[in-house]
A and B are shown apart, each in its own frame.
Chain A
Amino acid sequence: MTVRSVSWTDAQRVSSLLARVTATRSPEPAALVSAMGAARAGAPGKAAPTPAKAAPKAPKEVPRLVQTSDNPADRLDALVAWTLAHQACVGAFVADDNGLTLAAHGISEAHVSLVGPLLSALVGVRTIPGVDATAGALWLGAQMMSWVEARTTRGGFCLGTVGDEALSTRAFEQLKEALGTTVRGL
């Protein structure tokens, strides 16, 4: 049984709404209290002390993909949209293990036609002991094609990206998790 989300809310719809209702926040601080009038004229206007040591910059937090629809097409579209929004790529696609592209955005026909042969080649790689072929990357001229795989009782699925740079290990993990979330229960 597919567990439905709590909010029944489509993540893409929320993203679209948020883009329409949020303002760009100014990086320049303006003191709320020091802007006060005569009543506070005597208050010390000293600037906040400088931190002794800047905290290390945390890696950008990527939200987990939440699937709110039971419709397979909607789930795949949401996965592609999430990938484009949160990973360093210009295109993304989902294919089954026969190489049939199920959803795609921002990738060329050439890339689409490459998916089938690529996955076929990986079948042979999987049989080699000690090799994890559930994720990989390939330089194609000036672009990098990366992919992760997930296996279900209905077969395998592949989520791929095309971009100008290699994905980090963390990004691969995030893609694997998002793909797993999407195909679970399909």
Chain B
Amino acid sequence: MLLGTDVTQVEAWRKLQEKLTAASVTDRSALLHRRANDTRSDVVRMIDHAGQGHIGGDFSVTDILTVLFNGVLRIDPNDPQKAGRDRFVLSKGHCAAALYATLASCGYFSPDELLTFMGPLSALNGHPNRNKVPGVETNTGPLGHGLPVAVGQALAAKLAGNGARVFAVMGDGEMQEGSNWEALMTGAHYGLDNLTAVVDRNRLQQGARTEDTSSLDPLDEKLLAFGWELRIIDGHDYEQLAAAFKPSSTGKPVAVIANTTKGKGVSFIEDRVEWHHKVPSTEQVVLALEELA
């Protein structure tokens, strides 16, 4: 493991957790929105510095990550390998920058590391590596890998009877990978009600809209037909996200279709296919940081 815990940052994260617990619904959403946009600002700076990255998908998944790591996942950034912890798998590994900024905000490692993103010998590779970055549970990058691993982790929690929950986030384009549908069958067959699969449904993939490439719809009917409890939400609404991440109510694994906007948070990046992995210019960086401030 190349990176270690940032104790000061963990303390800051803990204080935020206390605030969130005590806050009203409105205040909680405001706090999470601030946290999410700080993460987006980190991502802008990382991608600006590295000269590469996947800003569109980073921004669509940021609110999902923010809610998971602030009140949902039972984790301890001071003890990343703690037995019986909840697990998170970012199957859409190309959005590593958003994950790194989120993990750093929890204190898994120092936020000072973020600007090493994709630099020579950095722990922060373009796709996450569990042996280098604390908080990463499995190496991802090739699509369609995260959900089967999450199924295995959920099976392990069932066998151990430790009550651990497992969350995996897939891009919607990624649902074109057959391995996801194999894993969906296994999750339903074994009644993995401790498993939540989130689809970041921003409707864009690298080259075009999903529905113009290889149609996913009716995605809801497909997930239901595969035997999962389905929740369809606005993936940028913090209260809806928190509700969607509550445990299964049916004994089935939970699928969440989080309807999102690719590039969410910066007007000129939102919902534009070219921003899959476009890098903002110097002027655009300034504008983006202003919008996110």
Partners in one complex: no
Residues of A within 8 A of B (CB): none
